[in-house]
């Protein structure tokens, strides 16, 4: 029988991606599944801070073991921007196309297009806190490519590939992505700890 754990997200794409990675050992519930309709505001200025803020909110309010993540695209030529502000880079609307358009415009005159995706997963089990990081290096393409994935996937090309995340498909992406790397560390941890 699979164990239940909450992933503090309303993002159905992320929930599906992570649930596939944790299946069949874990039944991953999203915020909607536990009746949490609030939008937990990300008010911290680091990925780590935001990840723990969301996990702590769920643990304290619902008394459920929970993990949360925050991910940022860190572009070398932009001093690590958009980073912690990746989801709202072009404004509070959290529109992926607007975010990508702004990033591509800001990189137009830059020769260095190197970047990395970084995911931080914060886990709270029985009040104990744990952190897992995942990084994938690559570069920002000059235009949008592919239809799979979400966020910046159409413009991020991971190292060792000539295709953007959005062209690779979920099966390949789930093996090499920043979230996959952080999630694998989470899986390794959960497989050796009782929850």
Residues assigned a catalytic role: 70
CA 64, 34, 191 angle in degrees (round to 5)? Answer: 45
Annotate 69-132 with DSSP letters as a single string. Answer: EEEEEEEGGGTT-EETTGGGTT-TT--HHHHHHHHHHHHTT-S--EEEEEEEEEEEETTEEEEE
- CB of 105 closer than 8 Å to CB of 98: no
- CB of 134 closer than 8 Å to CB of 51: no
Distances (CA, A) of 94 to 64, 86, 99: 28, 9, 8
Under DSSP, is residue 50 helix (H, G, I), strand (E, B) or coil? helix
- 11 Cβ neighbours under 8 A, 6+ residues apart: 150
């Amino acid at each position: 029988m699979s164990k239940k754990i909450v992933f503090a997200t309303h993002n159905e794409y992320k929930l599906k991606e992570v649930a596939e990675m944790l299946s069949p050992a874990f039944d991953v519930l999203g915020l909607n599944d536990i009746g949490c309709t609030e939008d937990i505001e990300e008010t911290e200025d680091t990925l780590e801070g935001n990840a723990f803020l969301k996990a702590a909110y769920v643990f304290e309010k619902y008394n459920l073991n929970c993990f949360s993540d925050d991910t940022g695209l860190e572009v070398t030529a932009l001093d690590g921007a958009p980073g912690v502000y990746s989801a709202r880079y072009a404004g509070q609307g959290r529109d992926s196309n607007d975010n990508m358009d702004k990033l591509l415009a800001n990189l137009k005159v830059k020769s260095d297009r190197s970047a990395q995706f970084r995911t931080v997963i914060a886990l709270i089990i029985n009040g104990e806190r744990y952190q897992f990081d995942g990084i994938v290096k690559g570069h920002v393409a000059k235009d949008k490519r592919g239809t799979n994935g979400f966020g910046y996937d159409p413009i991020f090309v991971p190292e060792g590939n000539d295709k953007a995340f959005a062209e690779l498909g979920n099966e390949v992406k789930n093996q090499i992505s920043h979230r996959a790397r952080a999630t694998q560390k989470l899986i390794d941890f959960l497989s050796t700890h009782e929850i």
